[in-house]
Structure 1
């Protein structure tokens, strides 16, 4: 799986930051794209998967070679557990299949909320911070806006931004899609949150974690 630090090359990072600067030149909103490796490490998926695969392996081998011996089953299970656990950890596609989609959605949302607070997006002068989170392991995009924006812009508006980015990822043009999403955020905010004469850039234009 591509790591967050390698997800965009230097030229693409410059394009994204330039797109943020252009959007923020029209609005007092602060738009922050953020890319993370994952929103959570999901240890339960590794334990559950390793347990299931070890159970199947130990049962098959003990029946085939050791006459259904319980003692042989136990050491076979123990011997297989940690290799399977490591295998699942290093195969993201397999690990994702062992996680309930509802848990993935909840963890991505929590990561967005925590990042919003940790990165001080809630401390902008007019409460107009927007986070566009791309969580690579989960293959999810989440948009979170501060209270100043949500009081004016309906929450379902951000579904359009999510769709722009996810479609771009699936088409292999993530940088272009993220730039388009940033520009669209600027358009949505321009009317209700016009740029002010004393406006300053309060937040980073791109975060890679």
Structure 2
């Protein structure tokens, strides 16, 4: 399911309302963001297709062509691109071909880029919070500006991530995200209460 289809229109409205409610009590900014993936991982398709094509060509050449090198080569070439396409079309298979550390780094990098591209580092009190949900990787990443990071414990965001992750696994990502937004709002309210001239500086939901 793509990012544009993951939340229904009613759920999107509910998330945006949760952000508005949380931000009504603080000068901080909370931006949930939903993306299809953080990276396309081309190496996983190349290596995976190569391994599957190698196994297929080896087995068929041994079984039918007496271990002929020439038959092995054309069998390998013939099967490589179908396997590459198959891996691309099967995200569960593709995900298994990627090292978890690479996934973690790519999701983190996507969060940093999104944070900068969407201007979360330009909020007045440096209190922007990005909540990134990356669907292919099944990962959640929370990135907060230094204003709020200097005021809360470093492991604070782990609880926010766990809340959303559990909700996604249980099939209720919308409620989990709204709960996480409320938690972020409470943290911001404690440290950065709303000001009389406060304005909504950033989008309440980004779907990319």
Please give the range of the TM-score, normalised by the shorter of the 2 chains: over 0.9
Q: Report Cα offsets for 1:120-156 as digits up to 9, x if no partner.
A: 1111111110000000000000000001111111221
Matching of residues 85-100 of structure 1 within 5 Å: 85-100=84-99
Cross-structure match for 1:53? 52
Partner of 1:199: 198
Residue by residue over 1:154-183, the C-alpha shift from the partner in whole angstroms, topping out at 9 and shown as x without a partner, is 221000100110011111111111001000
Output aligned runs, 1:44-193, within 5 Å.
44-193=43-192
State TM-score, norm by structure 1. Answer: 0.99
* CA–CA separation in structure 1 for the residues paired with 2:6 and 2:29: 23
CA–CA separation in structure 2 for the residues paired with 1:208 and 1:71: 50
**By how many angstroms is 1:83 displaced?**
0.3
State the number of aligned residues.
208
How much does 1:188 deviate? Answer: 1.1
**In structure 2, what is the Cα distance between the partners aligned to 1:192 and 1:67?**
74
Secondary structure in 1 matching 2:155? helix
Q: CA RMSD in A?
A: 0.5
Query: Using the alignment, how far apart are the partners of 1:3 and 1:84 within structure 2?
Result: 23
C-alpha separation in 2, matches of 1:126 and 1:201: 13
The TM-score with structure 2 as length reference comes to: 0.99
Report the CA distance between 1:23 and its aligned residue.
0.1
What does residue 42 of structure 1 align with? Answer: 41
Using the TM superposition, give the Cα deviation of residue 5 of structure 1 relative to its aligned residue in structure 2, in angstroms. Answer: 0.3
Aligned equivalent of 2:9: 10
Where structure 2 has 5 or more consecutive residues not aligned to the other structure, the ranges are none
